[in-house]
Amino acid sequence: MTKMRMRAVARKLALVAVDSNKPEPSSQNRLQNQTPSSRQQPVGYSPPQQGTQQDDLARQRFQMQQQAERGLGQKPQEQERDDSEDESGSEEASISSHRQQQAKTTPQGLGGLQCQAPLGRQPGGYPPQPQGIPQDDIARQRFHMQEQKLRPGQILQKQEGDDTEEESESDVDEAEPTPREWQEEAAKAQLQQQRRVLEERRQEQESAELEEESESDVDEAEPRPREQQQEAAKAQLQQQRRVLEQRRQEQERVALGKQAVQEAKEVAIQAAEAEAAQAAKNEVLARRQFQLQEQALVLERQRREREQAAANLRRAQEAEDRAAQIAEEEEEEEEEEEEWAQQEAPRRDAEYMDQNRAREAAFSEQGADDYEESEGAERDARDQALQQQQAEEEQRKAQEAEDAQARQEQREAKAQEAAEKAADKEARKAAEREERDSRRQAEREHKDAINAQKASQREEQRAIDREAEQAKMETNLEINAQRAQQRTERKAAEAAQQQEERQAKEEAKRELNETRNAMRTQEVQDRAQRKADEAAQRLEQQSIFLESQKAQKEAEMEMLKEEMQSKADQRAAEATHRQEQHQAELQARNDMKSTEDEIRAQRKASEREIAVQEQDTGRD
């Protein structure tokens, strides 16, 4: 959209430059382009102007407006000139026939056919009439006044919009003009406009010299004072009309150039505002991303700490479970030994009783004789068996004592191991407690540092906001002062314009009254009416000139406002740069502090490991 608007502005400047390069035809060329009927007038006759540039431009503007609304093609300017010449020729023929009829009916006309008419007058005794009847002049002047009320450049907007829509697709790959290039084009257009004004002034000077020569030729004859005054008034009115038309065209070109400049400024301001909004949005996103990264790091650190605490708790629980399992196994072994001893005693008693019954049975079977021998042998065997049994019992008791001693030693070793594990557990708990306390202390210090950093950032942001608000207030004060000065100048200009309008109205009324009192014929009344219309048009031209001056002052105010806005943007950019630099320094300090914390934590961990190893070495 920005590219299309800038292209439209450049095209408007090009159209203004092309229109400004068209020179107005001089009085000599107009005399050569007259119809045959006008060239056949007597010597010294000043023919009316036909097909002037004012009418051509008015018709061209009206047709361009209609073509922009209907979407039709533009009619060539040569055909318009031909049509205007045909219309002027028909109007001249009707006027000449009307004058001849009046000349035949008046006494001067009846007697004037026999004498030579003075130079600069028609044979009928009437001074030369301007082109067109009074009704046509009034209608043309009303059309010009209505056209001047339109905003400058309004006629070309629709046509320019259609051209931009047709050429937008083909001009996508072209380079977008920068404000500097546009300013160069505006300077070129202004230079062309100055050249055009100089050319118009030169043409006016030439036409004035030609008119002076024609007046000197006319002065050789001796016209009557009243007729001479009429001729001079007509020439003056025509000259004033041409000057006013040239001024109006110049004002339109100036207004178009200012409008193009204003549109280019608006485009540049919109682009700068869009860039500033995008930069602020990117800054907010970057700040939010940094905060999210910090939160993610904190959550990750907390998760690792929770996992480490859970692992430590799990290892402590496993050690306690192993100690409890060892104690249960020892109790089960003692219970099994007691049960075995209780089960072995009845078995031994039963075996002894079985042996006694067997001996008694053998004694009853062998008799008394063999009883002694058998008793002795049995006694010996029993004593031997008893000794063997006693030896086995002593060996078993010694073995049981050794086993009990070994179990006692094993229990003592297990108890010692359990005590060592409990001590290790207490040491680990103390180390974990100390590490947890140190970690909490480090977290508190880190949080305090972060809070201090955030507080300093908030203070810096508040300072930056205060500076921006102060700059904004200063800019608003400057703008308000400029607006007040502009309002004062506008009121003074309006007062001066009103005073000039009142004076012009009084002068027009006075001239009209003098003309009505001096001249009673229909021709003089028509001329007075045209003079009043010309005065109204002059007032309108003066108001347009004052409005153009006011628009120029407003453009200057807009340029000043844009300059102040650029200064404010520069100050805001510098403040943002300072904030970013401070943020980078804070980030570097935070990284250095986190690195120092990690080194400190590693050092503490290594010291704890060395202490544990020293304890294990001392215990061994």
> Which DSSP string corresponds to 4-46?
HHHHHHHHHHHHHHHHHTSPPPPHHHHHHTS-HHHHTSPTT--
pLDDT at 77 over 80: no
Question: 56 or 288, which is more confident?
Answer: 288
pLDDT band for position 168 (cuts 50, 70, 90): very low
Q: Is 44 left (phi over 0), alpha (psi -120 to 50) or beta?
A: left
pLDDT at 166 over 50: no
Question: 135 or 393, which is more confident?
Answer: 393
Most confident range (mean pLDDT) of 154-163, 172-181, 198-207 is: 198-207
pLDDT at 405 over 70: yes
| Across 434-461, average pLDDT | 82
The pLDDT of residue 217: 54
| Across 600-619, average pLDDT | 83
Tokens 């790959």, residue? 173
pLDDT at 172 over 70: no
Taking the chain, what is the end-to-end CA distance rounded to the nearest angstrom? 87
Per-residue tokens: 586: 């804070």
State the sign of the Cα–Cα–Cα–Cα dihedral 101, 102, 104, 109.
negative
The pLDDT of residue 522: 67
Per-residue tokens: 405: 């001693």
Rounded to an integer, what distance in angstroms lies between the CA atom of residue 306 and that of residue 225? 119
| Across 333-358, average pLDDT | 74
Of the candidates 174, 93, 98, 157, the one whose C-alpha atom is nearest the C-alpha of residue 131 is: 93
Question: 2 or 67, which is more confident?
Answer: 67
Rounded to an integer, what distance in angstroms lies between the CA atom of residue 570 and that of residue 524? 68
Instruction: Quickly count: other Cβ atoms within 10 Å of residue 572's Cβ.
Output: 18
How many residues are there in the chain?
620
Rounded to an integer, what distance in angstroms lies between the CA atom of residue 130 and that of residue 165? 45
pLDDT band for position 26 (cuts 50, 70, 90): very low
DSSP string, 94-123: HHHHHHHHHHHHSHHHHHHTTSPPPTTS-T
Q: What are the CA-CA distances from residue 595 to residues 452, 523, 599 (Å)? A: 19, 105, 6
Rounded to an integer, what distance in angstroms lies between the CA atom of residue 430 and that of residue 271? 66
Rounded to an integer, what distance in angstroms lies between the CA atom of residue 66 and that of residue 53? 20
The pLDDT of residue 122: 42
Most confident range (mean pLDDT) of 154-158, 160-164, 506-510, 616-620 is: 506-510
Amino acid letter at 143? F
CB 266 within 8 A of CB 182: no
Name the average pLDDT for the chain: 70
State the sign of the Cα–Cα–Cα–Cα dihedral 36, 41, 43, 48.
negative
pLDDT at 222 over 50: no
DSSP secondary-structure letter at 176? P
Of the candidates 363, 366, 403, the one whose C-alpha atom is nearest the C-alpha of residue 379 is: 363
Rounded to an integer, what distance in angstroms lies between the CA atom of residue 574 and that of residue 510? 66
pLDDT tens track for 89-135: 555 555 555 555 555 444 444 434 343 433 434 444 444 444 444 45
Rounded to an integer, what distance in angstroms lies between the CA atom of residue 526 and that of residue 140? 15
pLDDT tens track for 528-553: 678 888 888 888 887 888 888 888 88
Instruction: Of 323-327, 365-369, 496-500, give the lowest mean pLDDT range.
Output: 365-369
Rounded to an integer, what distance in angstroms lies between the CA atom of residue 534 and that of residue 378? 177
